A and B are shown apart, each in its own frame.
Chain A
């Protein structure tokens, strides 16, 4: 057997006889791992506790009166269990993770080295401020970079994720409107928006009104003009949008929004595509969250917490939540009290310190010219994917695109293969699938965001696999697609049953029934 590079991948006399089933169910390094509950040995523990003394309870009859049901396991069992599971998983450290609108880029190891320094890793939010001047310095510098890159005068670092940042932005907008005695009821959200946008508006008590997209996948300006009115609090727009397109009319949209007395919220999830190139403040935006875990390379998607600082225009700064950093001579101070009418706090302490350190490390190691190249390479890579696939798949909109390429399922018409089947087959080729069935503005969407950190070789392999699958689909091999994935630790899951009859906790098997 040769690999794709022409190097022998097993001894030449290796037998090709069918592999018989193993006694253990394992297949060499592919280990068949039971659930922790199935490994339960009552009484076994990895920790020695002192026996509990008979004491008087103060719980007033609310004590638990049944066993908690934790399995008995040794420490090594638990370590092996999670290590075995992790080997069945896919991660950005293993290969391209092309989830559209998620910006799964490489997490530089320099970020990790800096974040692990004891002055950052071992501090506590309740320490005296005099003892954490370095950490406050990181927050001050990060604030400076975020304000400079966005051209906005104020920033609130504390929101813990993108959606939390949206909530922060809309709460601040509501506070500003209430302060001028102008409570409004509607928030306008384009059809292609992230689902979190309408959810945020609804959470803030607003009625969501959807703006249709035009044939080019951008906001329909005429429809927007009709929807705007003196009861509109804000418009929430993503730019570039989730079709991977720059909203060219954004300055006009901002002017129309402001003329109606409303605020302009921008979802900064796709800032990766314009960082260092466009300052959102210059476009007339009033508030925007920045996903540090997307644009500024901090780990996410199970690898680490999100972080969603929000930048504000002059009009909103007085209403922004605390805390923020103030400098008095050489001394930095966290200002924690909140001005009259301002939002107050978004989080118990000061936000995701570990992410601040990583994001600032990324900024300082790239410099402002390097960050502009991040945007250039992200857009270049997405267009390379679009060009490499446009003759075999169906791009939804004419290129060039920004940081992500959107395809729909027209190329699968009459093949019997669906977007879902196609994505599952990509798993067998060794890739994490792209985002599917989102955005909703096209049929059977496939949204690919390669990010700037993939090499040409990596993109060529990915494009090659997709081209192969597209050719297979048109050749009428829908059966093999329906059976995919075949080589993954578990094969096709029944997503319908999982949604209709979710089993959310471990069910002890009925011993009698098993016998």
Chain B
């Protein structure tokens, strides 16, 4: 498995072979507050990098989820569908959102590693 990488829209991706697992960052779940509903993409959908793949609804707001890479959706996290609080309690683990089969693996190079993302977050305050 690859190291974790982040987008500036606060999604993370970890690659296993040619399939990436995607979720939202710890910072993003904290900013959203208690997540109450997640609208997942459809399995089989082909999406371009930056496309809207779903919606996360918290007690404060509804926010779009964007895919940080292009590809085809191969799985969604059914557990989050039943228990959206997983996104808050374990955003980088059990709270993952969907898996995508990458069509352009080189897009990963445009994403930040953990250190670069931490620096990006510092700049937001």
Whether B36 contacts A496 by the Cβ 8 Å rule is: yes
Q: Say whether A282 faces chain B, with CB atoms less than 8 Å apart.
A: no
Q: Cα distance A437–B60 when bound, in Å?
A: 6
B34 within 8 A of A: yes
Nearest-neighbor residue (CB-CB) of B57 within chain A: A499
Contact B61 A440 (CB under 8 A): yes
Q: Which of B36, B61, B84 contacts A437 (CB 8 A)?
A: B61
* Chain B, 76-106, CB within 8 A of any chain A CB: 84-85
C-alpha spacing A495/B61, complex, angstroms: 13
Residues of chain A lying within 8 A (CB to CB) of residue B36: 496, 499-500
Cβ of B37 under 8 Å from chain A: yes
Interface string of B25-36 (1 = CB under 8 A from A): 000000100101
From residue A413, how far is it (CB to closest CB) to chain B in Å? 8
Contacts of A500 in B (CB 8 A): 34, 36-37, 84-85
Please, what's the 1-or-0 string for B20-49, where 1 marks a CB less than 8 Å from any CB in chain A?
000000000001001011000000000000
For the complex formed, measure the closest distance between the CB of B35 and the CB atoms of chain A, giving whole angstroms. 9
Contacting residue for B34 out of A437, A438, A440, A496, CB 8 A: A496
Across-interface contacts of A499 in B (CB, < 8 A)? 34, 36-37, 57, 59
CB distance from B91 to the nearest CB of A (A): 16
A382 to chain B, nearest CB (A): 24
Most buried by B among A437, A438, A500: A500
How many angstroms from the CA of A443 to the CA of B31 in the assembled complex?
9
Interface residue range, chain A: under 10
Instruction: For the complex, give the distance between the alpha carbons of A9 and B98 in Å.
Output: 62
How long is the Cα–Cα vector from A499 to B84 in the complex, in angstroms? 11
Kindly report which residue of chain A lies nearest to residue B60, judged by CB atoms: A437
B31, B34, B57, B60, most chain A CB atoms within 10 A: B60
Contact of A495 among B37, B59, B84, B85 (CB under 8 A): B59
Q: What 1/0 flags go to A488-515 for Cβ under 8 Å of B?
A: 0000000110011000000000000000
How far is it, in angstroms, between the C-alpha of A477 and the C-alpha of B57 when the chains are bound? 30
With CB as the reference atom, state the residue of chain B lying closest to A208: B52
List of B residues within 8 angstroms of A438 by Cβ: 61
Contacts of A443 in B (CB 8 A): 31
**Nearest A residue to B34, CB-CB:** A496
CB proximity of A498 to chain B, nearest CB, Å: 9
A:427-464 near B, CB below 8 Å: 437-438, 440, 443
The smallest C-beta distance from A406 to any residue of chain B, in angstroms, reads 16
Q: Mark B53-69, 1 if CB is under 8 A from A, else 0.
A: 00001011100000000
Contact with B along A164-199 (1 / 0, CB 8 A): 000000000000000000000000000000000000
Contacts of B85 on A, CB cut-off 8 Å?
Answer: 500
Q: Flag if B61 contacts A496 (CB, 8 Å).
A: no
Q: State which residues 473-495 of A face B: CB under 8 Å.
A: 495
Q: Which of A438, A440, A443, A499 has the most CB of B within 10 A?
A: A499
Find chain B residues with CB under 8 A from A437 CB: 60-61
Q: What residues on B are CB-neighbors of A496 within 8 Å?
A: 34, 36, 59
Contact with A along B97-124 (1 / 0, CB 8 A): 0000000000000000000000000000
Cα(A495)–Cα(B60), bound, Å? 10
Give CA–CA (A443, B60) in the complex, Å. Answer: 11
Instruction: List, in ascending order, chain A residues with CB within 8 A of B61's CB.
Output: 437-438, 440
Q: How far is the CA of A443 from the CA of B27 in the complex (A)?
A: 13
Complex: how many Å from CA A440 to CA B57? Answer: 13
Report B56 CB to chain A, min CB distance, Å. 12
B84 contacts across to A, CB distance below 8 A: 500
Residues of B close to A495: CB separation below 8 A: 34, 59
Chain A proximity of B8: nearest CB distance (Å): 13
**Whole-angstrom distance between the alpha carbons of A23 and B98 in the complex?**
56
A28 to B31, CA, bound (A): 43
B124 closest partner in A (C-beta) = A443
Please give the distance in Å from B116's CB to the nearest CB on chain A: 22
Q: How far is the CA of A89 from the CA of B37 in the complex (A)?
A: 29
B34 to A: closest C-beta gap in Å: 4
Smallest CB-CB A-B distances: 7 pairs: A499-B36, A496-B34, A437-B60, A495-B59, A500-B36, A496-B59, A440-B61
Which B residues are closer than 8 A to A by beta carbons? 31, 34, 36-37, 57, 59-61, 84-85
Q: Mind listing 5 A-B residue pairs with CB under 8 Å?
A: A495-B59, A496-B36, A499-B36, A500-B84, A500-B85
Known: A440-B61, A496-B59, A499-B36. 6 other contacts (CB 8 A): A438-B61, A496-B36, A499-B37, A499-B57, A500-B34, A500-B84
